[in-house]
A and B are shown apart, each in its own frame.
Chain A
Amino acid sequence: MITILKKIIRIGMVTEPYDKMQVPPGFRGEVLIGEDDCNDCQSCATVCPTKAILFTEEGMSVNHKACIFCGRCVERCEIQKIKHSDHYKLAQFSSGVGEDAGSLVKTEIRRIFGRSLHIRHLDVGSCNACDFEISALSNPIYDLQQYGIDFVASPRHADMLMITGVVTRNLTQALLMTYEATPTPKMVMAVGACAASGQVFGNTYAIRGGVDQFVPVDIYVPGCPPRPQALLYGLLAALHKL
């Protein structure tokens, strides 16, 4: 017992504000498209493993929900038009949830969920990287509970579902039943490229698509996987607690 206490005292408090850690220089964050004229070779779109780069009449765009931040487009671009920035706060919100929400809605969200949000994690076909990053939120460094947020064992106790993975055939029923079992009002967060886009493994016989094809999604957190800070940003921004 005494050694346990000694160790605890020696390590001290390690918890830090969610965005205190500096983003390391090699981090592959948001994909930025520069101002330079594109030579329209479209080779970035060909080398993208998840078809996240789109060429339309309005020009080129990156679907960050589907991006796995592998850096192939950046490496391939002949004119260095594409770059990774260190920006990771990429959460996107459905209308009425994020920054654009009306002040009444914001007050309402804060009133209902602001002081205590209970989350149920749901894996509908993930590779487990997103799941591990969600577990990391409970480690003493991020200490999710300091924000009044916690994980619960049953969807019946939850206000939010954090969903990871592409929806597989074998988990479709579990997804629908879990959503159904979560009491209203509830929020849904699609965590990572698989859940947010459903495009990471293409279209196979065993995959049914992204989460929003089955249940309404309020928050999308891009990343493969999103780092814990990106998840915390998504959570805190959705609760208007930033």
Chain B
Amino acid sequence: MVPNYTFHRRKILIMFVTCLAGFGILMGRLGYLMLFQSAHYTALAQELHERERSIKAARGRIYDANGTIIADNKTVCTISVIHNQITDAEEVIGVLSEKLEVSADTVREKVEKYSSREIIKSNVDKSVGDAVRACDLDGVKVDEDYKRYYPFGSLASKVLGFTGGDNQGIIGLEVMYEDYLKGENGTILTQTDARGVEIDTAAENRIEPVDGCSLYLSLDVNIQKYAEQAALKVMEQKNAKKVSMIIMNPQNGEIMAMVNVPEFDLNDPFTLNYQMDTSVTDEEYQDLLNKMWRNSCINDTYEPGSTFKIITAAAGLEERVVSLTDNFYCPGYKIVEDRRIHCHKVAGHGAENFLQGAMNSCNPVFIEVGLRLGVTNTYKYFNQFGLLGRTGIDLPGEAGTIMHKQDNMGEVELATVSFGQSFQITPMQLITTASSIINGGTRITPHFGVEVQNSEETVIEKLSYDTTEHIVSEETSETMRYILEQVVAEGTGHKAYLEGYRIGGKTATSEKLPRSENKYISSFIGFAPADNPQVIALITIDEPEGIYYGGTIAAPVVADVFDNILPYLGIEREAVTEEETAEN
């Protein structure tokens, strides 16, 4: 037997000490990893384990002036299957194909596909979703989601706009007030294993969604409906391309109705609102959709024609280059430099004063006023009236005014501008400027949005809009109201006359470019009561067939609308006495 020597013991101790050193190093390494690197690796690991599922926030509702919901949310369901949670595949296939009206083969393919989640059908009505849920099938998930829903269908379609797949606004107010309406999506953070399967026992980290704010509009569904019917009626009668109408409170710029017929169905915005004969490419189809969605009150400009004489008159009166009693003579044309510019009445209006010229809508009278003003003053007033910029309406894509550059404006241009030709503005700009002239001289910002409330119905913001006072004097404003009332009472706008109401207005018939095509835009701008305007309306009829005079076809529509909405707005009919009639 060989004994165990002392040097063996020493060697064993050396080995132990070496082990100790090795363990020491490893403990140091562990300490480094688990204390100093801990945050780093914990974050990386967490990123690996956590899955984020978002909870959609309900989009804010849109209400009209009466508190009627005009844009709402509908709960819809998305039905999906999770392959490895399915216990009875045949039953799942049977139930889903029957309830969702999807072919059994399609369902089978998705049920048998090895994936974490397969969507069978989305945008399913809630009742159907509830029915599927009631079947309590293993591996079938019913997730609720919100979808925008417009209870009035096509009403004010181009104003309200609609939302896309992610519930984001695409056009109209839905885009403009996106930040208020969209809310904040919540999230559920879940822990998953390496296959991505959620772990039931792990605590969910949930961030609740914040629902979007509600938007209250000045738009009134009843007025909008009535205006839409009237517009549709005239469009059909005159076989016009389209008819637009804006009805606004001239005192504060609150828009009560904005019609652009033909409207489209907001609940089905990606389908054209007319039958198409030819097949088109996707790109062309998208162009057609874009065209259908255009709001011509603000997105398109036109030559306003005679309605613009309101502005020329206001500028002339304000600059005192003309007064009501100034005398003019109309031979049926006016020669400016080398051009002979015709009046719409070829025979001429003969001798007339300024008031009569306005009532006759006589071009030479307004050319004369324009020339008296001169380019510099004309431009000064255009600027002062806010005519050259945009109105600042709370709708996206507003077009600007297309006007001659001041430097390029000669006498001929000045003359044509004076009666509303050779430049373009939007109907919105025209009605806004006219409002500002007749309301006592305060330039207002037209708008729909009145206030914003959060989901607890607390007002969080009263929307305010810029105003500019004294763009014309009160005196000029009053004179203008008088002139325009006379236009309706006895002038070209007499077809807008309503018994018992004092209505002011101006007609226009503008020839579209190119002039040779003989296509017209007939329009009428009217307001009531003439002494204290509470409502102003502008109708434009695009390419009417047959008689196309604004005074003949546009003015009666406004009269018809006023006849109905003035009592609705609480503006009482004045008792008509024999005396007054005689006086008129």
- The answer to whether A and B interact is no
A interface residue numbers (CB < 8 A to B): none
B interface residue numbers (CB < 8 A to A): none
